[in-house]
């Protein structure tokens, strides 16, 4: 196990309430996105993160704001956790000019350099070598920042994954690779994808520090990712983490998820990240039901505001259609 970060502070009442608020906000924003999708206000692909919120929020709580995040297409929750405003995130889903990528990216291509959120990529595993490149730049520039790369269980079977890991380890780059193992790659269960189901063991093959843990408790995620960041930041090399999680919805909005075993979803919901944290707030900090309700009400209002903002924002104009396709010479 990686040594904990000696400088990480203990989570106090206010911090835990903040993490709960963030997780609830992400879930609420996505529930509204699902509704907007059925109303055809959001078009194209839309992959929801519901059930996995403790991962993004726990990682954000461990990171410095200047750490760079690189991720895949299931990134709405990560974007909000990293600091993309719910308004900009939702407007991007609606394809509006006020969106994080000016409405030209959509659900899979949220990008906001102002908060060091470096995308949103639709090709499974493609983000791994991109993160290795970002980490290379961070090292060459002499920063103390770390690249954090998220991807799914399915991505760990890609060539790009192995290639990215090999180079990152060889050059001892400051990067933390995070497998979000939600047990499915589209409709294919983990046992049907891979002979090795403890995916973190892939790190051993390239000599990389590796660790696996359950990600349903946001405090555990914060603490273990803090240890990994501390390791990567100290210059000794990258880390591969496997965070065990679960997605409640189908792969994308068009997937009814009939491939699950009977009762599996209900069983997993017993360790719902929101439930765990709500219980901790009550048991450890004496937070009342009324206070929990107030946190939720605030997040509900923020999510409603984001949806209203997206709905009432203008479409991108036709003149801007080809902007950002290629870098314009200056
Ligand atoms: C190279 C490539 N192959 C196939 C696809 C189609 N595809 C999109 S998502 C996905 C499953 C990926 O599953 P996983 O990595 O576990 O991520 P999750 O969706 O569970 O977050 C596949 C096969 C793709 N986008 N890119
Ligand atoms: Mg998966």
- CATH number, domain with residue 298: 3.40.50.970
In a domain, 5, yes or no: no
Q: What is the pLDDT of residues 111-167, one digit of tens each?
A: 999 999 999 999 999 999 999 999 999 999 999 999 999 999 999 999 999 999 999
Size (the chain), residues: 330
Please give the C-alpha separations between residue 211 and each of 40, 69, 170, 239, 295, in angstroms, as whole numbers. Answer: 41, 19, 19, 8, 33
| Closest approach atom of ligand 1 to CA 156 | 15
In a domain, 330, yes or no: no
Token pair listed for 235? 């210059």
What residues does 189 pair with on adjacent strands?
184
In a domain, 318, yes or no: no
Say if pTM beats, i.e. exceeds, 0.85: yes
In a domain, 7, yes or no: no
| Closest approach atom of ligand 1 to CA 180 | 21
Token pair listed for 85? 């405003």
In a domain, 31, yes or no: yes
pLDDT band of 330, cuts 50, 70, 90: low
Please give the C-alpha separations between residue 24 and each of 30, 35, 201, 218, in angstroms, as whole numbers. Answer: 10, 17, 32, 12
Token pair listed for 292? 């929990």
What percent of the chain has a predicted confidence (pLDDT) above 70? 99
Per-residue pLDDT for 259 more than 90? yes
Q: What is the pLDDT of residues 201-250, one digit of tens each?
A: 999 999 999 999 999 999 999 999 999 999 999 999 999 999 999 999 99
Which residues fall within 8 angstroms of residue 321, CB to CB, at 6 or more apart?
Answer: 104
Residue tagged 């919901």 (tokens) = 269
Residue tagged 């939702």 (tokens) = 90
Measuring CA to CA, which residue among 16, 68, 36, 35 is closest to residue 217?
A: 16
- Domains identified in the chain, total number: 1
- The domain in which residue 35 lies consists of 13-312
Choose one of 186, 243, 248, 260 to mutate for the ligand 1 pocket test, by most ligand atoms within 8 angstroms of C-beta: 186
In a domain, 280, yes or no: yes
Ligand 1 near 153 CB (within 6 A) = yes
**How buried is residue 12: exposed, middle or buried, by Cβ count under 10 Å (0-12/13-18/19+)?**
exposed
Per-residue pLDDT for 79 more than 70? yes
In a domain, 98, yes or no: yes
In a domain, 307, yes or no: yes
Q: Are 37 and 165 in contact (CB under 8 A)?
A: no
């Amino acid at each position: 196990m990686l040594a904990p970060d000696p400088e990480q502070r203990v989570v106090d009442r206010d911090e835990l309430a903040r993490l709960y608020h963030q997780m609830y906000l992400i879930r609420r924003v996505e529930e509204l996105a699902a509704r907007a999708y059925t109303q055809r206000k959001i078009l194209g692909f839309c992959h929801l993160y519901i059930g996995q919120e403790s991962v993004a929020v726990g990682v954000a709580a461990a990171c410095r704001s200047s750490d760079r995040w690189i991720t895949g297409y299931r990134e709405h929750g990560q974007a909000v956790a990293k600091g993309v405003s719910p308004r900009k995130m939702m407007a991007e889903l609606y394809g509006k000019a006020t969106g994080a990528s000016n409405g030209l990216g959509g659900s899979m291509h949220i990008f906001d350099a102002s908060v060091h959120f470096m995308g949103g990529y639709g090709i499974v595993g493609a983000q791994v070598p991109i993160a290795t490149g970002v980490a290379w730049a961070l090292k060459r520039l002499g920063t103390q920042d770390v690249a954090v790369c998220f991807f799914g269980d399915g991505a760990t079977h890609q060539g790009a994954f192995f290639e990215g890991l090999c180079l990152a380890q060889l050059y001892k780059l400051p990067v933390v690779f995070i497998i979000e193992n939600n047990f499915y790659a589209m409709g294919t269960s983990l046992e049907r994808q891979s002979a090795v189901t403890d995916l973190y063991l892939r790190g051993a093959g390239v000599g990389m520090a590796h660790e696996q843990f359950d990600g349903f408790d946001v405090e555990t995620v914060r603490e273990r990712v803090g240890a990994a960041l501390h390791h990567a930041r100290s210059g000794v090399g990258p880390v591969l983490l496997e965070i065990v999680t679960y997605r409640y919805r189908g792969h994308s909005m068009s997937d009814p998820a009939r491939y699950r075993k009977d009762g599996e979803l209900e069983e997993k919901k017993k360790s719902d990240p929101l439930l765990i944290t709500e219980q901790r707030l009550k048991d450890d900090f004496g937070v009342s039901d009324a206070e929990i309700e107030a946190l939720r009400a605030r997040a509900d209002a923020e999510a409603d505001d984001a949806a209203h903002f997206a709905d009432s924002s203008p479409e991108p104009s036709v003149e801007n259609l080809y902007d950002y396709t290629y870098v314009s010479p200056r």
